[in-house]
Amino acid sequence: MKRLFTMSLVALALVPVACGDDDSTDTTAAGGTQIAATATNFSFSPDLWTVAAGEEVSLTLTNAAGEDHEWVIMNAPIASEAEFTEAGVYWEMEATAGAVATDTFTAPAAGTYQIICALEGHFDSGMEGELVVTG
């Protein structure tokens, strides 16, 4: 929050320099990006999210199921659970059964990233999505 507040001050300070132009980019930077996902047995809804590279992204993960689920950004896609390693994880969060969790990550470099639930058997059962990061 402290960092976002600082950015807001910078944005305000730049307004007179920009002759009062309303720059929507500043508004986005100050407010961050919010995305949401609902996890069930065994899928994400939605299963496609788009964010901007380097943006602070707040994810609200709603677990509508009776068992725990994760939302994991993979550095490189895997074809099956057997290929999963912790080293291949860019960022991850978990929502326990029936819970709503929120956490924040910095969007990686532009590209398309595989989203999975890394709990045993879940990815192989179809818990997969796609995070598109624009440049």
**Which residues form the interface with Cu ion (CB under 5 A)?**
69, 117, 119, 122, 127
Which CB, 51 or 122, lies closer to Cu ion? 122
Between 26 and 43, CB nearer to Cu ion: 43
Q: How far is the CB of 124 from Cu ion (least distance, A)?
A: 11
Residues 27, 29, 31, 35, Cα dihedral to 10°: 120
**What distance in Å separates the CA atoms of residue 129 and residue 116, rounded to the nearest whole number?**
6
Least distance in Å: CB of 113 to Cu ion? Answer: 17
- Measured from each CB, the residue nearest to Cu ion is 117
Residue 70 C-beta: closest distance to Cu ion, Å = 6
Looking at 1-135, list the stretches that DSSP marks H as alpha helix, in order from N- to C-terminal side: 2-17, 24-31
Name the pairing type of β-strands 100-106 and 111-116: unpaired
